[in-house]
A and B are shown apart, each in its own frame.
Chain A
Amino acid sequence: MRTTVSLILGTLLLAIPASAQELPNPLRIATEGAYAPFNYLDDEGKVQGFEIDLARAMCDEIGANCEFAVQDWDGIIPGLLAQKYDAIIASLYITDERRERITFSDKYYQVPARFVVPKASTLEISREAMQGKVVGTQRATSFERFMRDEMAGIDLRVYATMEEAYLDLQSGRVDAIMADVVAASEGFLKTPEGEGFEFRGPEYTGAKWFGYGAGVGVRKEDAHIADAFSDAIAKVRADGTYQKISEKWFGFDVYGE
């Protein structure tokens, strides 16, 4: 028995029960809208970015009628489980921990993580040297997990969005932040505000925390949606659509190994 009840006070859509193997129509995709240039909101409040373009291309490929929903990061998996939407395309890394709760498509990009510090800072990147130092990152990310597990003794500050971590790095409230190298360089270091800052220390890729790249997340019972996206990723890679989108946003192919 499958019943869908929508508590409705206006705009809520009544999702029509779909047979198991069909794609939902519309297919609701959650993104964060605060992780430029992967996904962000423009000055009209519309979602933009590499992942948005890529998602649209994939939706065309699988013939789905996709709608985007903006969802704060730390509620993005609970929101999926609560059926507020059907898929997550938001630089969500495929990790074993998350796989216990949700299912992923194949990865659609993979980049390492790294610390960003002020150029003038003499901070050395190591657990010993960073004891008591204030380090910022986004709550409920791989970066947070990595630092809680591997960098005990640092003063970790977690923010709702990465953009707020950038703001506090800029104002000098934190000594360093951790982010992925592409978001940090395109979304911060290459902007005028990021001028006085640079990467420091090694690139981190440990699968335990950073997983196997970013994938489309779906509920476990919706594995067919993940499969559809995996096929779509292979197709847009093969026909060059992916490379075109990646070139537009980054000037290089972000897919990774």
Chain B
Amino acid sequence: MLTFLSDHLDAFASGAVITLQYTALSCLFGAVLALPIALMRLSPKAAVFWPATIYVLFFRGTPLLAQIFLIYYGSGQFRPTLEAVGLWQFFREPWFCAVLTLSLNTAAYSSEIFRGALQAVPRGEVEAAMALGMSALQRLRFILFPRALAAAWPAYTNEVVYQLQATSLVSIITVMDITGVARVIASRNFAFYEAFVTAAAFYLAIVYLVILLARRVERRLHAHLAAADANGSRKIRA
């Protein structure tokens, strides 16, 4: 096991970098996309509500593996069309398809978290902001978002952790992330449990590092509550 580790540590480390890159990129794009979707889902207008709802239903109701195959191999079936509109140069690249699918997928899950958090902001605070004469944009910026962010944070952390693990599926479309590296090494050296135990250890380490960091941020997000809530019943929503 030790010789195995020293022989292949470099490969696993480069795989870990890829895993982190894909996680970071897809979480970033996913979060940016999730916000408008969450707002659309809160809209009373059917023409706004339904497209977002169908989107969320599709990406939450089907397996990520199927989505990856659909976008990666499925796009190949439409190459002429995609070429005509100039998009094929992107779909040609595995990394693009991988990040696109992961982003679309996490956007659907994140939007539900954001929606719940936005709904959880006490009505009174919004009314107070209105009474102070804040514009709609100001209310979003100063009241709704900061409050919603704090409320959404624990659930969103879970989503990031989940996303980190979900990136393992991109190994199926030739990307050499931690899992991809493990599969090549496992089959080349017939060292199956060494390779996958090592991969599991890498994921475990990264996941708990992320959770640790997220807890730090969470404490800062709730700093104002801790001060206000002096009589002891300090509850952080889990």
A and B touching (C-beta < 8 Å)? yes
A-side contacts of B186, CB under 8 Å: 74, 78
Question: Which residue of B is nearest A136, CB measured?
Answer: B174
User: Which residue of A139, A145, A159, A171 has the most chain B CB atoms within 10 A of its CB atom?
Assistant: A171
10 closest Cβ pairs, A-B complex? A171-B76, A140-B187, A74-B187, A157-B174, A78-B192, A171-B79, A173-B92, A101-B190, A167-B73, A77-B190
The one of B92, B172, B188, B192 in contact with A172, judged by C-beta atoms closer than 8 angstroms, is B92
Query: Is A160 at the interface (CB under 8 A from chain B)?
Result: yes
A-side contacts of B13, CB under 8 Å: none
Q: A168, B76: Cβ atoms under 8 Å?
A: yes
Q: B183, A172: Cβ atoms under 8 Å?
A: no
A132 CA / B8 CA spacing, docked (Å): 24
Q: A172, B174: Cβ atoms under 8 Å?
A: no
Query: Is B94 at the interface (CB under 8 A from chain A)?
Result: yes
Query: Is B120 at the interface (CB under 8 A from chain A)?
Result: no
B-side contacts of A164, CB under 8 Å: 73
Tell me which residues from 176 to 193 in chain B have a Cβ below 8 Å from any Cβ of chain A: 183-184, 186-188, 190, 192
Tell me which residues from 49 to 79 in chain B have a Cβ below 8 Å from any Cβ of chain A: 73, 75-77, 79
B-side contacts of A158, CB under 8 Å: 174, 184
A-side contacts of B190, CB under 8 Å: 77-78, 81, 101
Query: Is A31 at the interface (CB under 8 A from chain B)?
Result: no
A78 CA / B183 CA spacing, docked (Å): 12
What are 18 contact pairs spanning A and B, CB under 8 A? A74-B183, A74-B187, A75-B187, A77-B187, A77-B190, A78-B186, A78-B190, A81-B190, A101-B190, A140-B187, A145-B188, A159-B174, A160-B172, A167-B73, A170-B76, A172-B88, A173-B92, A173-B93
Q: Which residues of B contact A (CB under 8 A)?
A: 73, 75-77, 79, 88, 92-94, 172, 174, 183-184, 186-188, 190, 192
**Nearest-Cβ distance from residue B86 to partner chain A, whole angstroms:** 14
B-side contacts of A160, CB under 8 Å: 172
Q: A167, B94: Cβ atoms under 8 Å?
A: no
A90 CA / B143 CA spacing, docked (Å): 64
Q: B184, A139: Cβ atoms under 8 Å?
A: yes
**Nearest-Cβ distance from residue A85 to partner chain B, whole angstroms:** 16
Tell me which residues from 17 to 48 in chain A have a Cβ below 8 Å from any Cβ of chain B: none
Q: Which residues of A contact B (CB under 8 A)?
A: 74-75, 77-78, 81, 101, 136, 139-140, 145, 157-160, 164, 167-168, 170-173
Q: B76, A139: Cβ atoms under 8 Å?
A: no
A172 CA / B90 CA spacing, docked (Å): 12
B-side contacts of A74, CB under 8 Å: 183, 186-187
**Nearest-Cβ distance from residue A172 to partner chain B, whole angstroms:** 7
B-side contacts of A145, CB under 8 Å: 188
User: Which residue of B75, B174, B183, B186 has the most chain A CB atoms within 10 A of its CB atom?
Assistant: B174
Known interface pairs A139-B187, A167-B73; 18 further A-B residue pairs with C-beta atoms within 8 A, sorted by A's residue number = A74-B186, A75-B187, A75-B192, A77-B190, A78-B186, A78-B187, A78-B190, A136-B174, A140-B184, A145-B188, A157-B174, A158-B174, A168-B76, A171-B75, A171-B79, A171-B92, A173-B92, A173-B93
A-side contacts of B183, CB under 8 Å: 74, 139
**Nearest-Cβ distance from residue A194 to partner chain B, whole angstroms:** 15
**Nearest-Cβ distance from residue A219 to partner chain B, whole angstroms:** 12
Q: A140, B188: Cβ atoms under 8 Å?
A: yes
Question: Which residue of B is nearest A141, CB measured?
Answer: B187
**Nearest-Cβ distance from residue A8 to partner chain B, whole angstroms:** 22
**Nearest-Cβ distance from residue A77 to partner chain B, whole angstroms:** 6
B-side contacts of A159, CB under 8 Å: 174
**Nearest-Cβ distance from residue A214 to partner chain B, whole angstroms:** 18
A-side contacts of B188, CB under 8 Å: 140, 145
A157 CA / B170 CA spacing, docked (Å): 13
A-side contacts of B79, CB under 8 Å: 171-172
B-side contacts of A168, CB under 8 Å: 76
A167 CA / B192 CA spacing, docked (Å): 28
B-side contacts of A81, CB under 8 Å: 190
Question: Which residue of B is nearest A81, CB measured?
Answer: B190
**Nearest-Cβ distance from residue A209 to partner chain B, whole angstroms:** 13
A62 CA / B77 CA spacing, docked (Å): 46
Question: Which residue of A is nearest B69, CB measured?
Answer: A164
B-side contacts of A167, CB under 8 Å: 73, 76
**Nearest-Cβ distance from residue A95 to partner chain B, whole angstroms:** 12
Assess A173 versus B187: contact at CB under 8 Å? Given A78-B192, A157-B94.
no
Q: B76, A173: Cβ atoms under 8 Å?
A: yes
A-side contacts of B172, CB under 8 Å: 160
